[in-house]
Amino acid sequence: MFWFLLATVASFGVFFGIILPELQKFRVTADIIAKIETDGVTRWQKIKLWLLGLKTPLSGLIGVLVTALPGALEQLHLVDFSAFFTADIALKISGAIMLLMTVTHIFGIAAAAKIEPKKED
């Protein structure tokens, strides 16, 4: 349980210490915040703009929850997940999520390359 907590704290540290500041720099460079605040943008477009750059970290979070959380909850004797899926199925799910993370990361890089940087006045 100690290692799970240590990995969780380290993951949150990396996310809030490295990923989020870099994502904020990307949003400023791509002028996404100004696009979100314009009047002609629909609610769905605003949600898509806010999620831009978060597909890969969210996929990773889902992967960690699907693979690690059932084992941690079983150790705490709160929930028995063996009726839902075995370790074999969790391994297949984590493999699919790693593939999803790779694909979303590649699409994210391609989308970021198409964005014109914000021009300084």
Alpha-carbon gap, residue 121 to 118, rounded angstroms: 9
Q: pTM for the whole thing?
A: 0.53
Q: Give 34-68 pLDDT, tens digit per residue.
A: 777 777 778 888 787 777 777 777 777 777 777 77
Residue 81's pLDDT band, with cuts at 50, 70 and 90, is: low
Residues 60, 101: contact at Cβ < 8 Å?
yes
